[in-house]
Amino acid sequence: HLPACTDLFLEPINTMGRSVLWAAVVAVAVCAHLTAAATNLNPTDASPNFVLFPCSQEDFYISYKYDPLSFQEIEIKSSNSSNGNTIEMLVNNGLPGSDAVILPPCVVGDNKACSVDLTCELADGNNEWFIYVINRDSDPVEFNITTFSRVLKPAALQLNKPVTFDGEVAGTDFGTENVFYQIPIQPPSEFAMVNFTVYDVGPDEDSVAIAVVNPFSVASTNIAETSCDLFPLETPGTLILTACDLENIEPDGGSVTWFVSVAPKSYQSNFTFTIVASVDDYVITELTEGEATPVEFISKEDDVLYYSIAAPPIPDGEDSAAQQLNISVVDVQGGQVNVSYAANYLPWQECKPEVSAPCLSETRCDLVVPACDVQQDVYYIAVAGQKLAAANQPLAFRVNVSYADQPSTKVATKIKNGVYFAGSVHENQYRHFVFSPNGYKESADTYLDVQLYVDATDFGPTTLFVNADALAGTSGTSCLEHFSRCKVQALGSCVVQLFSCDYSDYGTWYVSVLGGDAANYFGSGTRFTLRAGLQDPRKLSDESVIEYGNVYSGEYDQWVVRDSMLDEGEIIYVEVASVVGGDISVWENRDQLAGDSCETRACYDAIAPPASVWPDGSGAGRATSYTMELKRCSDDDEDYFIGVRGEGAPNGAEYTMTLVRDAGPVQPLATISAGELITGTLTEGDGARTNFTLADGGTSKRLVVTLTLLQAPDEGQLTLRLLSGDLLNCAGEVGSCTTGGANDVSTCQVVLQPCEFSALDGAMAQLSGDHGTLYNLKYEVYSPSTASLKSGVAVAGELHYKEYAFYKLAVKSLNSTLVVEAYFDNDMGVAASLYVSTLPDAGRSPCYTFDAPSCTSAEKCVYIVNACDIQKTTYYMSVYTSASVLRPYPELKYTLRATQQDALVPVEFQSVNAMEIYQGQRIFHTLEVDNIDSDAGEIVAIHLGAVQRGSVQLYVSYGSPLAHCPCFEHSHTLAAAAGDAVQTLTLAYCELTQTGTWTLEVVGEKAAADPAQLIGYTLSIQNLAQDPAPLAVGDTVEASARNGRYKYFEVKGVAPTDQVTLEVTDVRGGSVSVF
């Protein structure tokens, strides 16, 4: 045990594979005391005095034999702590395999004692205890430990017989002495309560410090925190031990011996009180099934009367009863009752779950236990006086309990299709119905509407259930299930709709109405109207006829426009408007009912999110109408469905549906051919003459459609739309351009590349704009071709808007670099792009492909393929412009050159090589070394300099350069940039030991201004090889050395025992280092 004041730092020791050891470094030397083995204590003896050094600890062990009448304490006392020193006693048990019980610490100071009560812990079976005494101060402290084991003789109590204590209560070292009592009690039933009452306390009512009641063993009042099941007893006052308390103490309901401890606040010479123990049991009236009780009375609020009834029997071999249990409290007068029930225990016990929601009523309560929920045994019913109408008048009622067979389908009343049924229902009762189609001719889109109207109710809510092939209900109030349901909270309506995919899956549909599941019951119940009817989507009639609809919250109206109403390419507009009473949501769909596809078991779908339509004046920004465009664009027979749903309107939302047919043209009236020039004027109301079919639609050629504005009103403009297809209303736009307007653009073009044009299912040109505009319209088609290039030979050409010029070059050598250069006429002020690919042809998607990176510039583009990456294949190139050159037939001049350069450039000693390189390009200089001229000092200098317009990087390696592709390895590097002095790399004899080919790779690192700019540099190799000059002892030699160069000397004839002195003198022109 290490005292808490000891600071420990644990560090692992390297054990070289042996068991791990840990080093404990004690930070405070004075705290480094370890205690010896624990000292055994006898339960009845006092220990000798112990001296406890600072920051040290003494351990003790004690074992008890449990006696329920014994009172066990451990006392610690210090004999020299008057100087303010303190010691602390910690007590815990350490039984193997169990969680330790740690008692609160006991702190002693100033010559005082403290004690720990173990009585309740021993009652729990914890008999072995460890005691740790710790001195946390800086001076030694002397102490001893005494264990007390006192066998008590509690006075006996008898039920319902008061006992009075009157006498002297002396104080002890542990506080005031306790007065003890005991009584064994066997509860007469599982619902009984045990009461302990203390009264006539003297000399005054505040004389008692604390009184506690504990089962099975005596309890001390000295310790606030123990494991005892202590129940505090108010004095004067009564402790009521409920059935829940007794069940927690003795779950089997057996006899329990209870111990009472009472302690005064201080020494009392005439301490007095009276105590009595009693048992209360509930009066439970046994009911007879089917017979009502006589009139029962409750004279005080919150008083409760209890009743019992045997549960309906469960037949042999069955999982549930065949009958349900009906509980009714009727003829309520003079106030309000609160009714609840539970199986096998009394309702409203705090330790038991509530089985039923309480029923509060001033007239009657009806509770139902469904047959499938019936538990075998006894049901207990509680009736409480919730509220009395008059203080001097009791609350009266009668109780009736009966068994009833589960309802079968025979009880269901038939409701015919579309016929209204008016009826009523009591609280927690069902009215069952079965739906009859009554000869309705059903279609694939037929759906069932079941609507409940609550006309009047004395309680609420009222629930509508719908189920397939069996009675409808809910397991909460019956043994029934439901397919769907809705609820009316008070007055109003709700609807359940079964659409075609649900309705047609089953043969018979049952409907039920459940009287409210609320807590109050008044009057005769709920009066309702029920209607169930089949219907098909309502057909929208032809032009400009207004239809009316009304939808409740959550209800759909389904509408349909049959495909036969539209010819191919025609448009019909449907407007939803004039909404009154609440907002609605509108969905569109094709060939299936329309609605929210996110709903569970949805039999409908939607082609777009819903539109919300609001009543007039509902708020700024809220749409008060919604228009749908319905069009037929194929030969497929597709009906158009519209779903309208009410959103929260309790009395329904009214709306109108209006259908209008579009009178515009379906197809262009004119067809034009390639190269044909059309001149026309845009005329108001004559849109048919501004749509043209292109005769060449769908060919694999490049399409160019040109619109020229000849004359227009002030700032008048004209827009050209290129459409795919042959039906105007079904065509999709693939390109557009605009002439005129504030920019005064007289010509614009729409261009499609071959793969885009060939993908069209027909092509149309559509004009729109200001009336009175005079124009020319023309289209042309071109078949693109790919020209072959010769290496290093430039070609020139011109580009039109969105035009590609395609080229190719065959690469035959892998020891080469491909450099593609494109120059553009920047007088045009537009940009063009260069694309390169190994696949035909190079360009943008979707028609072409290119190898990254591409380049776009108004002046020059360069593409590099280095020797390590080049393939022996054909490379495809293109130049292209998409810039809008605002004039007729724009042209962009360009020059293109593709060069296959030798990637290997030899260099020699003592020569200077002036080179140019592009950013990202790699030039491999090769140096052939035939022999090594010297075996001492530096022998080669590589000079990299005269760099212009950027920076370069040099990599040096032995061997052929392309042998390392693409991961080129190097042994030395050198960098140089524009403005730098000549950079030099020197190699000593030990770094240049191999003859053969050495590679000096130069990489264009970064161009200063433009990646397409050439970077200049020079590269030279200098042979520095020299033999050491001989130097004899005693000689004086004059020599010189260039800046940064070595001069070597060799001294011969020196014996190992000689001492040699070397002098370097007369240094001029700088400084030297000697090695």
Task: Give me the residues paired with residue 166 across strands.
Answer: 272
Specify the amino acid at residue 908: E
CA distances, 38 to each of 35, 60, 262, 425 (Å): 8, 5, 37, 80
**Rounded distance between C-alpha atoms, residue 326 and residue 291, angstroms:** 12
Taking every pair of Cα atoms in the chain, the longest distance, rounded to a whole number of angstroms, is 147
Percent share of the chain, pLDDT over 90: 38
pLDDT reported for residue 227: 53
Query: Do residues 256 and 184 touch, judged by C-beta distance below 8 A?
Result: yes
| pTM > 0.75: yes or no | no
Token readout for 748 is 């614009």
Q: How far is CA 397 from the centre of its chain?
A: 56
pLDDT reported for residue 544: 58
**Half-sphere exposure (CA, 13 Å, Cβ side) for 189?**
10
Question: Residue range 925-944: average pLDDT?
Answer: 83
**Rounded distance between C-alpha atoms, residue 191 and residue 1009, angstroms:** 97
pLDDT reported for residue 221: 55
Concatenated DSSP letters of 861-888: EEEEE-TTT--SSEEEEEEEE-----SS
Concatenated DSSP letters of 915-978: EEE-TT-EEEEEEEE-----SSSEEEEEEEEEEESEEEEEEEEES-GGGGTTS---SEEEEEET
Total count of residues recorded for the chain: 1075
Burial class of residue 96 (count of CB atoms within 10 Å of its CB; 0-12, 13-18, 19+): exposed
What is the tens place of the pLDDT at every residue in 772-813? 889 999 999 999 999 999 999 999 998 888 899 999 999 988
Is residue 507 pLDDT above 90, yes or no?
Answer: no
Strand, helix or coil at 758? helix
pLDDT reported for residue 212: 87
Give the burial string for 690-712 (b: 16+ CB within 10 Å, else e): bbbbbeebebebbbbbbbbbeeb
Burial class of residue 42 (count of CB atoms within 10 Å of its CB; 0-12, 13-18, 19+): exposed
Query: Do residues 595 and 557 touch, judged by C-beta distance below 8 A?
Result: no
Lowest mean pLDDT among 253-257, 371-375, 611-615: 371-375
Q: Residue written as tokens 């299930």?
A: 481
* Pairing relationship of beta strands 106-109 and 365-369 according to DSSP bridges: unpaired
Query: Do residues 382 and 341 touch, judged by C-beta distance below 8 A?
Result: yes
Is residue 747 pLDDT above 90, yes or no?
Answer: no
Token readout for 1038 is 């004059």
Query: Do residues 752 and 702 touch, judged by C-beta distance below 8 A?
Result: yes
Is residue 447 pLDDT above 70, yes or no?
Answer: yes
pLDDT reported for residue 592: 87
**Rounded distance between C-alpha atoms, residue 719 and residue 691, angstroms:** 12
319: enclosing H helix or E strand: none
Q: Which residues contact 605 (CB under 8 A, 6 or more apart)?
A: 589, 592, 593, 594, 595, 597
CA distances, 989 to each of 14, 126, 272, 941 (Å): 46, 87, 115, 11
pLDDT reported for residue 26: 38
- Of the pLDDT bands very low, low, confident and very high (cuts 50, 70, 90), residue 333 is very high
CA distances, 400 to each of 287, 307, 327, 495 (Å): 8, 10, 6, 36
Give the burial string for 445-474 (b: 16+ CB within 10 Å, else e): bbbbbbbbbbeebbbbbbbbbbbbeebbbb
SS (H, E, C) 461-522: CEEEEEEECCCECCCCCCCCECCEEEEECCCEEEEEEECHHHHCCCCCEEEEEECCCCCEEC
Is residue 65 pLDDT above 80, yes or no?
Answer: no
* Pairing relationship of beta strands 691-694 and 763-769 according to DSSP bridges: antiparallel
**Rounded distance between C-alpha atoms, residue 952 and residue 844, angstroms:** 32
Lowest mean pLDDT among 92-101, 414-423, 624-633, 1012-1021: 92-101
Q: How far is CA 624 from the centre of its chain?
A: 37
CB count, 10 Å around CB of 914? Answer: 10
Task: Give me the residues paired with residue 680 across strands.
Answer: 775
* Pairing relationship of beta strands 193-202 and 237-241 according to DSSP bridges: antiparallel
Q: Which residues contact 9 (CB under 8 A, 6 or more apart)?
A: 24, 25, 27
pLDDT reported for residue 145: 84
Q: Which residues contact 917 (CB under 8 A, 6 or more apart)?
A: 923, 952, 1002, 1003, 1004, 1014, 1015, 1017
**Rounded distance between C-alpha atoms, residue 516 and residue 494, angstroms:** 14
- Of the pLDDT bands very low, low, confident and very high (cuts 50, 70, 90), residue 21 is very low
Question: Residue range 326-339: average pLDDT?
Answer: 92
809: enclosing H helix or E strand: strand 803-810
Is residue 457 pLDDT above 90, yes or no?
Answer: no
Question: Residue range 318-336: average pLDDT?
Answer: 88
**Rounded distance between C-alpha atoms, residue 995 and residue 984, angstroms:** 21
Residue 839 carries which DSSP code? S
Percent share of the chain, pLDDT over 70: 88
What is the tens place of the pLDDT at every residue in 203-213? 888 888 888 89
Query: Do residues 1010 and 913 touch, judged by C-beta distance below 8 A?
Result: no
Handedness of CA 666, 669, 675, 679 (dihedral sign): negative
CB count, 10 Å around CB of 209? Answer: 16
- Identify whether 980 is preceded by a cis peptide bond (ω within 30 of 0): no
Lowest mean pLDDT among 25-34, 399-408, 468-477: 25-34
Is residue 85 pLDDT above 80, yes or no?
Answer: no
**Rounded distance between C-alpha atoms, residue 438 and residue 531, angstroms:** 14
What is the tens place of the pLDDT at every residue in 129-186? 888 888 877 778 888 888 877 777 888 999 999 999 998 886 544 445 778 899 999 9
**Half-sphere exposure (CA, 13 Å, Cβ side) for 306?**
17
Question: Residue range 53-63: average pLDDT?
Answer: 84
**Rounded distance between C-alpha atoms, residue 104 and residue 125, angstroms:** 19
Q: What is the chain's mean pLDDT, rounded?
A: 84
Triad 278, 284, 282: Cα angle to 5°: 15
CB count, 10 Å around CB of 101? Answer: 16
Question: Residue range 523-539: average pLDDT?
Answer: 89
Bigger pLDDT: 22 or 376? 376
What is the tens place of the pLDDT at every residue in 998-1057? 889 999 999 988 889 999 999 999 888 888 888 888 888 899 888 878 888 888 888 888
Is residue 751 pLDDT above 90, yes or no?
Answer: yes
Query: Do residues 488 and 450 touch, judged by C-beta distance below 8 A?
Result: no
Specify the amino acid at residue 337: V
Question: Residue range 552-567: average pLDDT?
Answer: 89
CA distances, 527 to each of 247, 365, 516, 518 (Å): 48, 18, 11, 16
Is residue 128 pLDDT above 50, yes or no?
Answer: yes
**Rounded distance between C-alpha atoms, residue 341 and residue 347, angstroms:** 6
**Rounded distance between C-alpha atoms, residue 267 and residue 168, angstroms:** 8
